[in-house]
Amino acid sequence: MSKGKLDLSQIMTNNKWVVDEEPHIIVDYEKCEKCDTKACIYMCPAGCYELDEHGKLRFNYEGCLECGTCRLVCDKKAIKWSYPRSGYGIQYRYG
């Protein structure tokens, strides 16, 4: 790596998350059960969505990058997304 440049892993480690006890994303799991694609699992850049050992969707909002991708790719409208309350969520150090 050349002097003065940062790679993505360095940039992300400089970000800070302040986790709220109230999630800023609410998932309607009943609607998720009817979804064949589970696009949120594959499209979330933070990996906040995964399937448990029974094939049920699990969501963890604490590492969310607040990009809104999950809301955009969910064709079942099962994700209610809003920005975290003031002072919570990710604080980007670069960019």
Q: What is the mean pLDDT of residues 68-79?
A: 96
CATH number at residue 29: 3.30.70.20
Query: What torsion do the CA atoms of 84, 89, 61, 64 make, to the nearest 10 degrees?
Result: 110
Residue 20 Cα to chain centre, angstroms: 14
> Residue 5: inside a domain, yes or no?
no
Range of the domain at 54: 23-90
Tens of pLDDT, residue by residue over 5-51, are 756 566 556 677 888 899 999 999 999 999 999 999 999 999 999 99
* Total-model pTM: 0.77
Dihedral over Cα of 7, 64, 84, 16: its sign: negative
> Residue 2: inside a domain, yes or no?
no
> Residue 50: inside a domain, yes or no?
yes
